[in-house]
Amino acid sequence: MTEENKPHIVIDDVQISVDDLPEEAQGIFGRVQRLTQKKATTMLDLEEIQAGINFFSNRIVEIVNSSSEKSKKEEDEVLKSNN
C-alpha cells in the first residue's frame, strides 16, 4: 500500500498515518475517522437544510408579494368604479 493510500487522519494540519501511531493511539484512530466522516456528513446535511429554509422563506415572500399586488389591483378597481 502506498503512503497516500494508507489510512490516515489530519490533526492540526498534519497528516498522520495509522502505522505511525503508538498502539494505544491506533485504538482511537478508528473513532476519530468515524467522527470526522460524521462531521462531513452533518455539514452537508446542514447545507441542505439551509437551502430548504431559504427556498421556503423565499416562497413565503413571493406569496405575500403576490397577495399585496392583488390587493392593490382590487383597490384600484374599486376606486375606478366609484368615480
Asked if residue 46 lies in contact with residue 68, where contact means CB atoms within 8 angstroms, the answer is no
Mean per-residue pLDDT of the chain: 87
Pairing status of strand 8-11 against strand 14-17: antiparallel
Phi, psi of 47 (to 5 degrees): -65, -40
Tens of pLDDT, residues 47-71: 999 999 999 999 999 999 998 777 7
| Rounded CA separation 36/49 (Å) | 20
Phi, psi of 10 (to 5 degrees): -115, 120
Q: How confident is the model at residue 37 (pLDDT cuts 50, 70, 90)?
A: very high
pLDDT at residue 1 tops 60: no
Letter for the amino acid at 73?
A: K
pLDDT at residue 30 tops 70: yes
